[in-house]
Structures are given as C-alpha cells and as structure tokens.
Amino acid sequence: MNIITKNFKALKELILYKPPEIPSPFVLGEKEEGRPEPVSPLDQIHADADMHASLLRCAERLAKALEKARKILTQPLRTETLASLAKELEALQEQQAQLTPLLQAYNRKQDPLDQTVSTSLQENRLMLERLYNLPANKDLVMRELTIPGTPPVAAILFFIDGLIDKDTINLAVLQPLMLLGNTHRQLYDGRPTTRLITEYLPSNQVRTATTFGDVLDSLNLGDTALFLDGVSEAVLLETKGQEHRSIDRPQMEQSVRGSQSAFTETLRVNTGLVRAILRTSDLTTEISNIGVRSNTLCAVMYLHSLVNPRLVQEMKRRLDGIKVDHVTSAGALLLQLIDHPMLPFPQALTTERPDRVAAALLEGRLAVLLDGSPFAIVAPISMFTLFHTGEDFSFSWIAASFLRLLRFIGTFLTLTLPAIYIAISYFHQEAIPTDMILAIAAARERVPFPSILEILMMEFAFELLREAGTRIPSLLGPSIGIVGGIILGQAAVSAGIVSPITVVIVAVTGLASFAIPDYSYSYAIRLFRFVLEILAFMLGLVGVACGLLALTALLCSVKSLGVPYLSPVAPKTRAGYDIVLRGPIYTQELRPDDLNAQDRRRQAGVSRQWREEPPAGREE
Amino acid sequence: MIVRLLITALLLGVMLLCSGCYGARETEDIAYVLVIGIDKAADGQQKFTYQIARPRGAGGGGGGGGEGGEKGEGGAWVINTFTAPTPSETRMLLKSTMSRFPNIGHVCAFIIGEDAAREGLGDLMSYFMRNRDFRGTMIMVVTEGTAEEYIKRNNPKLETSVAKYYETLLANMESGYYLRTDLHDFYLGLKAEGVSPYAAYSATNPMSGADRPAAPPAPEEAGKPYIAGDVPRTGEGDPTEFAGLALFRGDRMVGILDSDETRAVSILRSKGVRGYVGIVDPLKPEKNINIAFRLGAKPKIKAALYDGTPLYKVSVFIEAEIMGIPSGINYELGENRVLLENQISQLFAGHISRMLRHTQMLGSDPVGFGLHLRPQFPDYNALKQADFTALYQAAEIQVNVTTKIRRTGLDWQTSPWQTHNAEDPPHD
C-alpha cells in the first residue's frame, strides 16, 4: 500500500504538468468607466508639505539674509554694499508676500504654466523640475553659476539638450556672464534683467518672460532660460541649434525647367525659402502654435496688400480652432482645415516647392507651413490648380497647353476608360467596330471570368503594385516593377486568367493616372473609378453618365476655404487663359477672379513695353 | 441626417438592383451575325441565310491560344439558312442551332436574291426599319441568283473578316461602277416622292474569262460596259464582283444598269466619282487615249414644268488629265485639246443619255430628278397628286457635258517617237 502510494506519487510528480513558478505576466489593466479615480489623501499631504517646505526655505533665506546684514552692519559702512543689501531684503520681502498661505493655495489650484516667475531662484528651479518631471527626464539641463559683480549674483541656466547649439551657449552666454565682465558691475542697480540684456549678453535675440508658460515655450523651441536670484523675471536667450536636413531637390514634384529646391522639415528654413523668392516687406508670416501637447509651430504666409483679409481671418480662425494633441504633418493639418473632410478630393494644394507657394501667394492665396513637415498647404484653390505644375510657365504657351490637355485627358481616361469598356462590352456591343468586338470576343474565349471581375482583378493587382512600390525599400523597387509588369501581365494572359485587352485597358488607365500631377487628386480619381465601374456593370453607359453627373454635382458643391472648387467654370466667373489652356505669358494680366484679391491686376496692360520703343541702336 | 442618408443609400441600392444587369451579356456569349441573305422560297415563304462570325477565326487568335493562322481552323464564319414565313421566326430558329445568343447589331450587309427583289421588298423593309437592333448603315446588295449561294461563294481573299470586306468595298466606290446604298438610304428612297430606291448589284463570276458585255460600247469609248458576273476575268481572286445598279420602282426591282450607266448615275448624284477611262483617239480612231477624270463641280440640274411635261437641263463639268497618248498626236495644246475635250464630253453625255433612256423606260428615277421638280408645283396638293414616275417617263432631259483638260500628266508636250517613219508625221 505504502509502496503503491509512493510510486503513484513519484509517477504523478514525473508526468503531471506543473507550470514553472514565475510571476504572472504583465497585463495592462482596464480603466473603469464612470468610476472616478480615488483621491489619495497623500496628495493633499504632499501639497501641504510643499507649501510648508517653501515657507521653511523662505525662513532659511531670511535667516541667512539677517546674518549677512548683521555682518555688514558690524563692518564699516559702504554705500554700495548697503544698496545691494537693501535690494536683497526687498526681494525677500517680495518673496515673503508671494508666500502667504492664501496666495500659495490659489497658485496651486492654477495651471502651473500661468504662474509667475518667483524671485527665489530655489522656487523657480523646483518649479521647472516639477514641470519637466526631473530627475526622470534627462532632456532639461540645469547649469548653476554665479555672475561676478557687486554683489555676485546667483543664477541658473536652463536649456534642453538636443535643441540648442552648444557653441552659442558656451561663447555667447556663459563666457560673457562668467568671464568677460569685471567684478565692479552692479547688476542690482536698476532693473537687473534690462542691464544684462543691454550691456552684457551678446546673444542676438533676447527677451524677458514673467510666466512659466512663456519660459516653457521658449525652452521647447531651443532657447535658453536664465533665472537670477531675487529677480521675478527670466531672460530668454536665442540658442536654437537643432539638427536638420539641408535643402534638397523636390522628390514628388520634379521639374525639368523649374527651380530645384524643395522645402525641408524646419519651419524657419521654409519661410526663408519663400521669402527668398518674394523679397518684399509685404510678405507677412504669422506664427502660431498648433497641438495642445506638441506645441508645433505653424506659419501662415500671405501678401498683406494683396490677399483678401477675410481669407486670412478665416484661416487663422480655423487654425486657432484646432484642438488636438498633435498635428503629425501638413497632410493631417490639411484634413483639420478643409470644408469637406468626407470627400477624398484634395481641397487645398500640398506642395513641396517654394516657387509654387510664391506663385500662389502672388495670386492672392494663403500658404500654411507646419514645423516638421516639408510640405506647404496652399488654399484656397480651385480643382484646376491641381492640374497645373510649377513649371507650366517655363514653357511656351503652346507646349504648356498641350501638356495640360494631356493631363486632363489622362484624368478623364483614368476615371472612365475601364467603366466605358465594361459598359460597352456588356450592354452596347453595337457601339464599337465589328472587327474590334470580334477581337475582344476572340480574346475572351479562353477566359473563365466575367469582364467585370477581370477588370477588378487587374486593377486590384495594379493598385497592389503601386502600394508595394511605394512602401518597398528603394533597393527592391526595380525588381517589384519587373515582377509586376512582366510576370503579372504576361503570365496572367497566357494562363488564361485575363484577356490581353483587359491588360491593355488597365495599363493605359494606370499610365494615365500617373499624368495627374497631384498625388491625392489622383487617389480620389482612382477611387471614384471603381464606383463608375460598378455603375457601368449595372447600368451600362447610362450608369457611367449618372456617375459622372453625380461627381460633377458633388464637385460643384465643394468649397476650398470658402471658394467654389470648380470656379471659374462653375460658378462661371471671368477667367483668363490659365485654367485648362495656358495663354501666352503677356496675356496673364489679371489674378483669378474667385479669390477677390485686393488688387486684381498683376501685370501692365502691355507688359512687354519694349515692343513700343525703338529697337536698340535706332534711338534717333 | 443619418436616417436620410440611410434611406438614400437603400433606395439607390434597390434602384440599382431592380434595374441593373439584366441586359448585360459577356462579349463571348454572343454570336455576331455579319450578313443576312434573303431569297424567295416556295409557298410564299422566305429563305433567310445568316452568316455568323467565329471570333477565334476572324479575330486572329485569342490570348496565348496560338491559333494564329489566316482564318483559324474551321473558317472565319458559320452559315445557316432557314425557311420561314417571317424573319422573326428565323431568328428564333437560329438561336436553336447555337449556344450563343445571335446579335444582329453588327449586321453589315443585307444580300437580296434577284427573284426576291423582283417580288418586292416592302414587307421586309417594314421589319428592318422598325427593328431597333438593325443598323441603318447596313448596306443593301442585290445579287444575281440566290443570296444563299452568293454568301457561300463569297470568300474575300484580302480581308480576314467578311464585315471588313463589305465595309471597305462600299466605302471606296470612286470608280462609280457600283453605288453604295444602305438600309436607311433605301428606306428614304422608298418614302420620298421624286426619287427611286436602288441597290448595289453584285454577282459571282464563273472566272472563265468569257467576254459578255452588257451593251455595245459608245463610238467614243474604248472599253465595254459590264454587269457584275460578266466581267471577263480569270484567276484565283474572290469570284464576287460589284458592277451595276439594281433599279427599283416602288419596292420592286425592275432592272439593272450596266457599269457605264451606273457611273452616269454616280456622276449626276455627285458621288465623288474619279477614275480612268479609255477613249477613241479623235484623229486616229484605231488608237485609244487614256484619260483620268473627275467631277469638276457638282452637276447642275435645272427643272421646269411646261404643260405638265417636265424639262430638265443637266450640265456636268468634268476635269480631265491626259494619262497616255499612244498615237503621239499633240493633244496638249490648241485645237487638238478642244477636240479631245469634246470627245470626252460626248462620251459622258452619251452614257448619261443612255442611262436616262433606260431608266425612263423602266420608270425608275435613281438620280432623283423628281426632287428638282418639286418647287415647280403650285401647292402641296398638286405635288401629292402628281405621278412622279409618269412625269419622269415623259420628261425631256437636255444633257450638256463640258470638259476641261487641266493637266497633261508628267509630259508637258508629246514628242514624236524616234521609231516613227515618214508616213506617220508627228503632229506638233
């Protein structure tokens, strides 16, 4: 019995699975809806402790000051030491006033960003440490120093590593503060920050701030904040030195004759690129912050004497009204700004070319640039703008008009070619020449699928190729093209999955879609193409016509920043030859009518006035 | 808002599902009828011949199938003949012979046997015109013998598709030896007062080389007029040929014009005639002169009505170019040129007059002289009561042809051949 039990137990030990004894894995707990987070009594205790600690620190300082005063008073009296003592005591008094329990309790309830800078260096340091979550956060660097003078002034520098230029801080901030002065400077004589700024700091942009909100904004941009003991102001020094990409060639909007520079990720470089083209005081750049948590800089650029002021107001209203944590890119910002976010059609132009932005500003449009995004948003636009490229005006008007017509034809083909093929092959066999219908029928003899499925399959393959080609590492790019082009097309035909005519239709459609200059417009057109295909399959050419009618109606109702999307065609307004065709350059006398710019005319009635003068050498 | 959107989406969906797709057919589920032949059958029935394309044969091979070949195996088409009282019956019977649905939207030619045409086409025209499936551009051809036999024997050698053959042939008719008529033209001719319908005349040639001219040539003419089927030729080409014009009086065929008469109709109808003609040398009748000609202007027809008898004055202007003067006589300049111009004018005037005599005798007006007469009636009632056939038969028609030699080919002036002897002095 005993042996059996023993053996059984031993066997059980051996065979039965026992989970290893490790702690249970991490599982993110669910936040329970509706139930408020319990307020820990500790929080209140910590708050009280903070308050008492600061009072205690104040008392310590007071004690130190009294000790110092006693020392000074025991020595022979000197006016300057007395004056500095008076200043110090005044500062203490001010600090004392700030530390009344009532005021402190009020401050604590306030947003810490609205709090004013304290006269106490210690308080300010603690405040910033609290705001930046020190010591966990290693980005904020604190540099304590003493500025020599009579009396010497304790100071702290704050800056964020990675956003600043170290050389600037060493040479233009620390060096003049610590070394270059003499001990006779009297900072407390008068307003200390003003003296520092005007006499001692060679930094190019310096200003003062009184609230922590301002201090934080500057620090986050790469400035350095200087706090002085006994001064309720911070000095903000320009020391920006973030690493950034240099100006490169345009990647998406390449041109043969146009300029070869594109925007980069840094806002100020981008605004500078535009200003380099439009060197006028009229060009206004308004900068604001977007993103409650990210504080991304956003610039609105316009020509002040040209643009319709209501457009500027509206754009600023919309920008101010965006309440999000973060705007990731110009594309995301665009989606927050547009009138019809449910439509895939781009309602503003996204461009990476400074010359296009400049040209648009000169027409009376607005440009919005976002820090960290190499694209500018141009609004308002009409749909026809999306067919233009930056270099249309670099070619003869005949060539440029031809190119533009090609783009329009390409768009139309992208939109309708597969749908028309489907409609005709299903419903209107009599509408094409006999030989062609026989050729189509012959090609389809061995194909087991209906035409609609064939087309949809090939288009899906094409879109797949396109997406894969975009996402693939550039080293593999060419091979995807070969795999897609040769294997899919040729093999699908010889395997009898699709007919050659389908491959031709889809290839022509795909090729035509590349002729659409604007990427997102091309996307919208390609999406709507599928709708037309289904309509064509169900209703034939009537369906295609209905689809096109619906699309036209839809586009007629769209507005881009309040300007009709199809203007100057619908509604009909006065239009120059720069819509579908591009007229000769000297006929481009008026700006687009739909923008209602302050100045309608953009070149003289006779722009080439040399034609009315005698030629060189015959001035008699 | 959401409810309204939902309702709209549902309604759209229902609309699409209710209306869509039912008429849809895959291209390869359809049999394309290319030619319809009509013959008289016993007991007042009709014989319909359908020539149906085989896409693999005509279309030149499908995807990767490797059929290739000139016409694929088994020929480029299938021919089926049915006898039934009405054409609708035959279409149903046709469906029973094949898996695919016969589509008549691509019919390009309508071949009518001569017997059926002489019997009258009115009943059929009603069906063909009213039926929306038929194209108005389908051409009308009257053939000698039966349409069934004609369709079977017509095997174009240059084109892979018979549709292409008919379309190309009847688009290029500059010679004027045959005239294109499509279904719609024929129908208009049937309806209109003052013009008679006509159809192209075609036949298969026995290829024996036998010379069977339709009429003796005019005194100025080197060649002879022919009617399709009688052209003296041998060889391995397609035995089908087009020459002549089937004339109709009302819906019944009454006669055939030969090639010269047909060209006269083409000239008077201003059908873009241009071509070559051989004429007898006016000064040396044993030699011929080759002339290229074209219509210099649209022919003018002036009509007048005297005591119920119409009088027409026809003036035709021909532009000619000398293409060869075997006699070596200098026809480029001076009186000789006038002589040659007159010879050409006489030739065409003769053709036109012969055509007019022939058509007046048959009581069919293919040129449409009656159309020019219509303004001469005092009111519409008088026009409606007029018997245009009788008027045409009674009409007096004066033909005046003028010719101008515009160019002389590549030679500006004829030089005497070096081999010519003294008894044949050059005429410079």
Nearest CB to B62: which of A437, A443, A450?
A443
| pLDDT over threshold 70, residue A142 | yes
**CA of A499, closest CA in chain B: separation in Å?**
6
- Higher-confidence residue of A348 and B170: namely A348
Structure confidence by residue, pLDDT tens digits, A354-380:
999 999 999 999 999 999 999 999 999
Residue A359: CB atoms within 10 Å: 19
pLDDT at B60: 46
Chain A residues inside the 8 Å CB shell of B32: 429, 434, 437-438, 441
Q: Which residues pair with B199 in a beta bridge?
A: B246
Q: Is A554 on the interface with B (CB under 8 A)?
A: no
**CA of B227, closest CA in chain A: separation in Å?**
30
SS3 (DSSP) at A323 = coil
| pLDDT over threshold 70, residue B274 | yes
pLDDT-derived band of residue A272, with 50, 70 and 90 as boundaries?
A: very high
| pLDDT over threshold 70, residue A296 | yes
pLDDT at B426: 52
| pLDDT over threshold 70, residue A144 | yes
SS3 (DSSP) at A211 = strand
CA distance B227 to B211: 11
CB B38 within 8 A of CB B116: yes
Q: What is the mean pLDDT of residues A106-115?
A: 75
Chain A residues inside the 8 Å CB shell of B63: 443, 446-447, 493-494, 496, 498-500
Q: What is the mean pLDDT of residues B169-189?
A: 86
- Higher-confidence residue of B352 and A577: namely B352
| A443·B63 Cβ contact <8 A | yes
| B59·A540 Cβ contact <8 A | no
CA distance A70 to A62: 12
Q: Which residues contact B275 (CB under 8 A, 6 or more apart)?
A: B174, B175, B176, B292, B293, B294
Q: Is A539 on the interface with B (CB under 8 A)?
A: yes
**Minimum Cα–Cα distance from A432: chain B residue:** B106
| pLDDT over threshold 90, residue A255 | no
Sequence ranges of the domains in chain A: 47-237, 267-381, 401-564
Chain B residues inside the 8 Å CB shell of A538: 16, 19-21
**Minimum Cα–Cα distance from A500: chain B residue:** B63
Q: What is the mean pLDDT of residues B322-343?
A: 88
Nearest CB to B27: which of A425, A494, A538?
A425
| pLDDT over threshold 60, residue B71 | no
Judged by average pLDDT, the poorest of A503-512, B164-173, B399-408 is B164-173
Q: Which of B22, B28, B100, B139 to mutate to test the interface with A (most CBs of A within 10 A)?
A: B28
Chain A residues inside the 8 Å CB shell of B60: 439, 442
| pLDDT over threshold 80, residue A580 | yes
Chain B residues inside the 8 Å CB shell of A455: none
CA distance A140 to A210: 19
Chain B residues inside the 8 Å CB shell of A445: 28, 55-56, 62, 65
**Minimum Cα–Cα distance from B12: chain A residue:** A535
| pLDDT over threshold 80, residue A183 | no
**Minimum Cα–Cα distance from A539: chain B residue:** B20
Q: Which residues contact B375 (CB under 8 A, 6 or more apart)?
A: B303
pLDDT at A350: 93
Q: How many Cβ pairs within 8 Å bridge chains A and B?
A: 109
**CA of B248, closest CA in chain A: separation in Å?**
30
pLDDT at A468: 83
| A437·B106 Cβ contact <8 A | yes
| pLDDT over threshold 50, residue B65 | no
pLDDT at B64: 38
Nearest CB to B23: which of A427, A440, A496?
A427
Q: Is B32 on the interface with A (CB under 8 A)?
A: yes
pLDDT at B74: 59
- Rounded to the nearest integer, the mean pLDDT of chain A is 87
pLDDT at A401: 93
Chain A residues inside the 8 Å CB shell of B27: 425, 429, 437, 440-441, 444, 451
- What H or E segment, with its residue span, contains residue A287? strand A283-290
pLDDT at A373: 93
Nearest CB to A450: which of B26, B103, B163?
B26
Chain A residues inside the 8 Å CB shell of B24: 426-427, 537, 540
pLDDT-derived band of residue A178, with 50, 70 and 90 as boundaries?
A: confident
Strands A376-379 and A366-370 come out as antiparallel
| A447·B25 Cβ contact <8 A | no
Most confident of A67-81, A353-367, A484-498: A353-367
Hey, which residues 88-127 in chain B have their CB within 8 Å of chain A?
A: 103, 105-106, 108
CB A225 within 8 A of CB A239: no
- Higher-confidence residue of A19 and B190: namely B190
> What pTM was computed for the model?
0.81
Residue A552: CB atoms within 10 Å: 12
Chain A residues inside the 8 Å CB shell of B105: 429-430
pLDDT-derived band of residue B84, with 50, 70 and 90 as boundaries?
A: confident
Q: What is the mean pLDDT of residues A111-116?
A: 80
Q: Is B36 on the interface with A (CB under 8 A)?
A: no
Q: What is the mean pLDDT of residues A69-75?
A: 82
| pLDDT over threshold 50, residue B69 | no
- Higher-confidence residue of A219 and A89: namely A219
Structure confidence by residue, pLDDT tens digits, A546-563:
999 999 999 999 999 999
* B139: nearest Cα among B168, B102, B174: B168
Hey, which residues 199-238 in chain B have their CB within 8 Å of chain A?
A: none
Chain B residues inside the 8 Å CB shell of A493: 63-64
Task: Check residue A508 and give left, alpha or beta (phi > 0: left; psi -120 to 50: alpha).
Answer: alpha
* A594: nearest Cα among A365, A284, A405: A365
**Minimum Cα–Cα distance from A494: chain B residue:** B64
Hey, which residues 143-202 in chain B have their CB within 8 Å of chain A?
A: 161, 163-164, 167
**Minimum Cα–Cα distance from A499: chain B residue:** B63
Residue B223: CB atoms within 10 Å: 15
Chain B residues inside the 8 Å CB shell of A438: 32, 53, 55, 58-59, 161, 163
Nearest CB to B64: which of A493, A535, A540?
A493
Q: What is the mean pLDDT of residues A412-422?
A: 95
SS3 (DSSP) at A28 = coil
Q: What is the mean pLDDT of residues A50-70?
A: 83
Q: Which residues contact A43 (CB under 8 A, 6 or more apart)?
A: none
pLDDT-derived band of residue A39, with 50, 70 and 90 as boundaries?
A: low
| pLDDT over threshold 70, residue B125 | yes
Chain A residues inside the 8 Å CB shell of B139: none
Predicted-complex ipTM score: 0.81
**CA of A498, closest CA in chain B: separation in Å?**
8
Chain A residues inside the 8 Å CB shell of B135: 430
CA distance B260 to A283: 83
| pLDDT over threshold 70, residue B407 | yes
| A435·B16 Cβ contact <8 A | no
| A429·B56 Cβ contact <8 A | no
Chain B residues inside the 8 Å CB shell of A495: 64
| pLDDT over threshold 60, residue B145 | yes
pLDDT at B72: 45
| A444·B65 Cβ contact <8 A | no
Most confident of A9-23, A131-145, A545-559: A545-559
Q: What is the mean pLDDT of residues A607-617?
A: 88
Q: In chain B, what percentage of residues exceed pLDDT 70?
A: 92
| A442·B56 Cβ contact <8 A | yes
Nearest CB to A538: which of B21, B55, B167?
B21
Spatial strand order of the sheet with A296-303 comes to A283-290, A296-303, A366-370, A376-379, A349-351
Q: Is A432 on the interface with B (CB under 8 A)?
A: no
pLDDT-derived band of residue B398, with 50, 70 and 90 as boundaries?
A: very high
